Structure 1
């Protein structure tokens, strides 16, 4: 499912332009090979990029939602990664085809009078269109953008016109950031959005816990708790209501695994609970949420779950699949 108003679309786009956004981030503009308009999107959306070797990676859209002629993504080269970003940096050139699916959005910008954005490294990518949206809404906002050094921080030129509403913190200039000091004491009407490496997000969450009634939205690039994904849990029964199939989910299996074993073809991508592609509605039962997409409030509401990692707290679970 998609939170952009319809099913996510699989398509093969073409690289229109490639540029170096920083010493470690390459920016790519993608277009339809026949010049057709691309599916609409809103700030916070991402696309799934399908790479050789059946690898899929998620990248935030960081261009202009009003420009239906292209999507822009920023890709950080990760030397310690699994090879996807290295392939993109080393092999993807202007004119090349690139299969993608999307857009999807689990990091939507909600209405509010004031915003505080915190971006770490390439985590600035989903924030850029949010700033433009805030400008169009005439909402108050400020951005704290953190990085190791200025040469590694992408899209600084695009942020310069915003003046002192953007605070740049570089570790090599100012030392390790004091997140609490940078956040300050925003009032309860200030919405906080954060995206970046796990260490930053955990610190932002810790700081937010001490603030009264603050609303925090985060987007992760990796599982919040990788150890939790390895916990097998007891067996339970799952019923796929639309399909009329009931089956056991054993320790070590996921609901997604069992669905595929019975010939179903649910959408999925990361299999780590970070992209939101496999989200399905819960009809009956309580999920053992292990994803890094849903907020604690959304998990407590128990309306949907990510079937690639989450399990069941009840002996039987019924889902809309």
Structure 2
């Protein structure tokens, strides 16, 4: 079973975890073991309505027979969460790809986990991993109201290592008190809505070791997303060539993804902002102008993959493996 290609799973169970949050338990249709994964991993999920979405795994990596995802209903979303909440039923077959990990838990002497709302999902396995390793840790879980916060009963087994903060009970959480220690040694892992991450980045900006901050967005920072998709000075038209010899021109102001779609192709994609990795495409030759928020410096230097929703070509031609 390849983690790089889509394969079939079955929705075994759907559970209401809080107001507005459902969890999905996925199993192999033949009850075979599922691929291994580590804390921070996510799946690309191809829903039966054709939409591709990314959901963090929030179960125990030690379980081989099932995976768990959690999905927040987003009234202002683009249809993925509404489909899960309104249409998906146990027994439904869905295609998934992965697991992939862009938010891996690195070794540290101490962890602080900070989750906002549905951002608790990638943090759950990290808590388990830290506890199993005997590394000191604590979790601050923020939400507007306890009724909207998933997995509270599950987290309660960790006692006072977990602090639950609901805004409607206690007002806004004093982040500056938690994060103001610039010389502290803990590594902070955080996931949550954009405004929360923006405040956290600002507070961590004065740290002596900024590399102690690790975060994952489930929506792009508007400024970064705008910069990624907007034309840059020096942008130029170039050609994308497929392995079958097909050539497609990519004008200034048009992404590779859009140019391929305009040519009648249907590359997998989701965010169109360079943050999810769904459109990651192998590069066989050509110099890439990376503009995504996912690939590491080492991966960018390797030059063998790119996010075609935002990244471009520094030269005149890219040869891509378009599948």
Q: Same fold (TM over 0.5)?
A: yes
CA distance 1:94–1:134, change in 2 (3 Å): same
* 1:29 aligns to 2:30 (yes or no): no
**Partner of 1:21: helix, strand, or coil?**
strand
Instruction: Report the more deviating stretch, 230-239 or 173-182.
Output: 230-239
Counterpart CA distance in 2 for 1:175 and 1:91 is 36
CA distance 1:213–1:281, change in 2 (3 Å): farther
Counterpart CA distance in 2 for 1:294 and 1:181 is 32
Counterpart CA distance in 2 for 1:320 and 1:216 is 34
Counterpart CA distance in 1 for 2:95 and 2:240 is 33
* 1:65 aligns to 2:80 (yes or no): no
Counterpart CA distance in 2 for 1:238 and 1:278 is 18
CA distance 1:265–1:98, change in 2 (3 Å): closer
* 1:272 aligns to 2:273 (yes or no): yes
Aligned to 1:287: 289
CA deviation digits over 1:85-144, x for unaligned, max 9?
Answer: 122112222222222222111111111111111110010000000111111221121111
Aligned to 1:218: 215
Instruction: Report the more deviating stretch, 150-159 or 98-107.
Output: 98-107
Aligned pair count reads 314
Q: Is the 2:36–2:61 Cα contact (8 Å) retained in structure 1?
A: yes
Counterpart CA distance in 2 for 1:107 and 1:243 is 35
Q: Is the 1:12–1:100 Cα contact (8 Å) retained in structure 2?
A: yes
Compute the RMSD of aligned alpha carbons.
2.9
Task: Using structure 1 for the length normalisation, give the TM-score.
Answer: 0.85
Report the alpha carbon displacement of residue 305 of structure 1 after superposing the two structures with TM. 3.8
Aligned to 1:79: 75
Task: Using structure 2 for the length normalisation, give the TM-score.
Answer: 0.85
For structure 1, the residue ranges without an aligned partner over 5 or more in a row are: none
Counterpart CA distance in 2 for 1:138 and 1:242 is 49
